[in-house]
Amino acid sequence: MSNKSYEVKESEKISSDIEGYLKEQEQKSFLRFITCGSVDDGKSTLIGRLLYDSKLIFEDQLAMLENDSKKDGTQGDDLDFALLVDGLAAEREQGITIDVAYRFFATDKRKFIVADTPGHEQYTRNMATGASSADLAVILIDARRGMLTQTRRHSYIVSLLGIRHVVVAINKMDLVDYSEDTYRKIEAEYNLFSESLNFLSITFVPMSALKGDNIMDSSTNMDWYKGQTLMTQLETIDVSKQTAGSPFRMPVQWVNRPNLDFRGFSGTIASGMIKPGDAVIALPSAKTSKVKSIVTFEGELDVAISDQAVTLTLEDEIDISRGDIITELEQRPETTDQFQAHVIWMDEQPMLPGRPYLIKTTNKTITGEVSELKHKVNVNSLEHEAGKVLALNEVGVCNFSLDDVIVFDPYQNVPATGSFIMIDKITNTTVAAGMIDFGLRRATNVHWQAVDVHKSARSEQKRQKPVVLWFTGLSASGKSTIANLIEKKLHFLGKHTYLLDGDNVRHGLNRDLGFVDADRVENIRRVGEVSKLMVDAGLIVLTAFISPFRAERRMVREMLGEHEFVEVFVDTPIEICEQRDPKGLYKKARNGEIKNFTGFDSPYENPEGAEIHLHMKNMSAETAADMIIAKIEEKYLLEK
């Protein structure tokens, strides 16, 4: 066996010339790849076999494997290689792969990191996790079953994530009597399917991971196959990306300021190369300068290339911070707050257009929403399908609208500056992977896309974020007074507002309603609906209603998006309210002339967890108004 002699050669080299051996190791090339395909196509077995055949299983691990194979194995008396990789207790119990496992091995030609990814559809997100950092995919197909939905799904996701090289490993050939016919059929079917995918190279190999056919050594059982073994393909395929000619991009990750004399910008070069003296521009601020030095711990560099983590200093003192991208002057990335992207949805909760999510790019996190789901992609047929939401593991093409601009390249051109993840604002989980296709609303873009006028477009125009400031409290507690003051102040600041209170609602919209509980609830529901429309129009809405019940306040809160409802509890002791009594209502209530008066014969439920709680006993309305404006300023009132 050739790998045996490799092992002997290695040992001799290590024993006789360790320094030379280490030098050689340093110069070895390197490949990151994934294994994917449907359940039971033999992915874990293949990796176990690769580790075993490249002598990376130590004696103690082998002893444990023999032990485990007897206990949990599915291969009778043979070693069950899958048990080497399926490391979680749940995986071993169920005999399936749940999450991606990373494994490391080397031959005399190359070092490898392989990600073994799960085949079950429900764990597709873990498969995508593994694929996002790989340069090549080995797609396994069980020769007995041929192409399955998961084969197509995984091939599509692999292509979508930008992996350009694929080895289709037609496995378990031992179970189809090493039939060339079976192999050719699958090969033809895959070729037909992959025509619409974006691969640079596709090669096929018939093999048996279990028996070792065409893994390290050419199989004697398949003389008809004249191609290379799987290992030879993995060792020789060239996946290098071009550095020369690629545009220079360095997203600023961290500003390096040890003292007043040094100001550097640290980041990992996403594309291209850079030398001292090169002219650069920082986007989106569009300030230009020249690179003064490339600083590293080892000293300054003459040149730095893609994937290196460096610190740049510039000739001019310009204001750059995390989120900016330093780039060359010629081929510049685009700046936009609206773009189209492909999205792989990874959460049990479906993706809802209009719901705000966090969008995290390489160095910036901002709020954004899907303004439109243009279509879904059927992973079987690759056809477009209409849809309103994206469910777990579905792929869709979406238009995005962000609260701020990002600097990007199309994912196809520069993956590192064209990718993003989506994060749920409440659960903080990663819910999607996104790959930007192109920017919208861009004069230079030949695919100019019409953008519907929607909430964020309207509010952006007003340089504010829409919100409802919901004042609640007893009659005469000061709700309307404070709300009035705030509206005046906001108006003075150039903000667009509207105040809803009993006076302008009870006389028109709600004049059919009285003061019994059911009417109070309906009153609030209608006010809530009107507020919602006004928020959609981009306005800052102030409402002043007693709104005594928690449930109704919660109802309105839930009608609106996250951060669009700010509850303000005007907490004035009832004695003070009764003293004020501007409309004489307390007096009438005490005399029994008014029924269902809040605080007397109708309850007031104090808010729990109001965003703002005003203790009005010792505070003036003016102070309260200023306090509220200060609180909302950063989030809702945008500069300029």
Select from 39, 96, 98, 619 the one that contacts another protein (CB under 8 A). Answer: 98
Shortest distance (Å) from residue 610 CB to another protein: 19
Residue among 132 and 572 whose Cβ is closer to another protein: 132
Of 264 and 478, CB closest to another protein: 264
According to the binding rule CB under 8 A, does residue 367 interact with another protein?
no
Q: Which stretch binds another protein (CB under 8 A): 170-178, 282-290, 366-374, 429-437?
A: 429-437
Per-residue binding string, another protein, 580-609, x by CB under 8 A, is ------------------------------
Helix-helix angle 18-27:2-16, to 10 degrees: 120
559 interacts with another protein by CB under 8 A: no
- Segment 193 to 212, residues that bind another protein, using CB under 8 A: none
Per DSSP, 239 falls in state -
525-544 binders of another protein (CB under 8 A): none
Question: Could you tell me if 189 and 181 are in contact, meaning their C-beta atoms sit under 8 angstroms apart?
Answer: no
The whole-angstrom separation of Cα 433 and Cα 420 is: 6
Query: Could you give the CA distance from residue 116 to residue 39 in angstroms, rounded to a whole number?
Result: 12
Cβ atoms of 483 and 542 closer than 8 Å: yes
- Span 327-346, contacts to another protein by CB under 8 A: 346
Q: Does 5 bind another protein (CB under 8 A)?
A: no
Asked if residue 101 binds another protein (CB under 8 A), the reply is yes
Decide whether 5 or 15 has the Cβ nearer to another protein.
Answer: 15
Tell me the window of 149-157, 428-436, 493-501, 567-575 that interacts with another protein (CB under 8 A). 428-436
DSSP state, residue 563: T
Torsion region of 491: left, alpha or beta (phi above 0 gives left; psi -120 to 50 gives alpha): alpha
User: Residue 99 and residue 119: Cα distance in Å, rounded?
Assistant: 10
Q: Using the rule CB under 8 A, which residue among 73, 119, 206, 267 binds another protein?
A: 267
Binding mask 277-316 for another protein (x = CB under 8 A): ------------------xxx-------x-xxx-x-----
> Pick from 220, 226, 238, 258: which binds another protein (CB under 8 A)?
258
Q: From the CB of 538, what's the least distance to another protein, in Å? A: 28
Residue 497 bridge partners (DSSP) = 540
Gap between the Cα atoms of 323 and 283, Å rounded: 9
> Dihedral of CA 15/16/19/20: which sign?
negative
Closest CA to 72 of 44, 41, 101: 44
Residue 396: left if φ>0, alpha if ψ -120 to 50, beta else—which one?
beta
Of the candidate residues 415, 439, 466, 473, the single one contacting another protein (CB under 8 A): 415
**By three-state DSSP, how is residue 185 classified?**
helix
The yes or no reply on residue 423 touching another protein (CB under 8 A) is: yes
Minimum gap (Å) between residue 27 Cβ and another protein: 7
Instruction: Print the binding letters for residues 379-408 with another protein: x by CB under 8 A, - otherwise.
Output: ------------------------------
How far apart are alpha carbons 454 and 458 in whole angstroms? 6
Nearest CB to another protein, comparing residues 61 and 198: 61
Q: Say whether residue 192 binds another protein (CB under 8 A).
A: no
Q: Smallest distance, Å, CB 129 to another protein?
A: 5
Contact letters for another protein, residues 484-523 (x by CB under 8 A):
----------------------------------------
Least distance CB 584 / another protein (angstroms): 47
Asked if 638 contacts 465 with a C-beta cutoff of 8 angstroms, the reply is: yes
Q: Which stretch binds another protein (CB under 8 A): 150-158, 239-247, 330-338, 513-521?
A: 239-247
- Closer residue to another protein, CB minimum distance, 128 or 209: 128
Residue 59 CB, shortest distance to another protein, in Å, is: 4
The answer to whether the CB of 56 falls within 8 A of the CB of 23 is no
Indicate which single residue of 117, 129, 214, 456 sits in contact with another protein (rule: CB under 8 A). Answer: 129
Judged by CB under 8 A, does residue 358 bind another protein? yes
Q: What is the 3-state secondary structure (H, E, C) of 293-342?
A: EEECCCCCECCEECCCEEEEEECCCCCCCECEEEEECCCCCEEEEEEEEE
> Using CA of residue 565, residue 571, residue 577, residue 579, what is the dihedral sign?
negative
Of 114 and 524, nearer to another protein (C-beta) is 114
Q: Tell me the window of 422-430, 479-487, 533-541, 546-554 that interacts with another protein (CB under 8 A).
A: 422-430
Tell me if 193 sits within 8 A of 155, measured CB to CB. yes
Q: Which is nearer to another protein, 323 or 439 (CB)?
A: 323
User: What binding mask, one character per residue, do residues 10-39 give for another protein by CB under 8 A, x or -?
Assistant: xx--xx--xx-xx--xxxxxx---------
Q: Is 429 in the site for another protein (CB under 8 A)?
A: yes
In sequence order, what are the residues at sequence separation of 6 or more whose Cβ sits closer than 8 angstroms to the Cβ of residue 260? none
Structure tokens at 419: 């990718």
CA distances from 628 to 193, 603, 621, 624 (A): 60, 27, 11, 6
Specify the residue, 415 or 478, whose C-beta has the smaller distance to another protein. Answer: 415
- Residue 547 bears catalytic tag: yes
Q: Go through 531-547 and write b for each residue having 16 or more CB atoms within 10 A of its CB, e for each that does not.
A: bbebbbebbbbbbbbbb
Residue closer to another protein by CB (options 84, 486) is 84
Is the torsion defined by CA of 424, 427, 429, 431 positive or negative? negative
> Which residue's CB is nearer to another protein, number 128 or number 535?
128
Among 3, 221, 232, 256, contact with another protein (rule: CB under 8 A): 256
80-103 burial, b if ≥16 CB within 10 A, otherwise e?
bbbbbbbeeeebbeebbbebbbeb
Residues 191 and 188: their CA atoms lie apart, in Å, by 5
As beta bridge partners, residue 389 has none
User: Cα separation of 59 and 442, whole Å?
Assistant: 61
Q: Does 136 bind another protein (CB under 8 A)?
A: no
> By rule CB under 8 A, what count of residues binds another protein?
82
Q: Among the options 381, 547, 602, 620, which is catalytic?
A: 547
Site for another protein in 73-92 (CB under 8 A): 84-90, 92
Task: Name the segment binding another protein (CB under 8 A); options: 240-248, 398-406, 503-511, 589-597.
Answer: 240-248
* DSSP string over 428-449: --EEEEEEEEEESS-TT-TT--
Active-site annotation, residues? 547
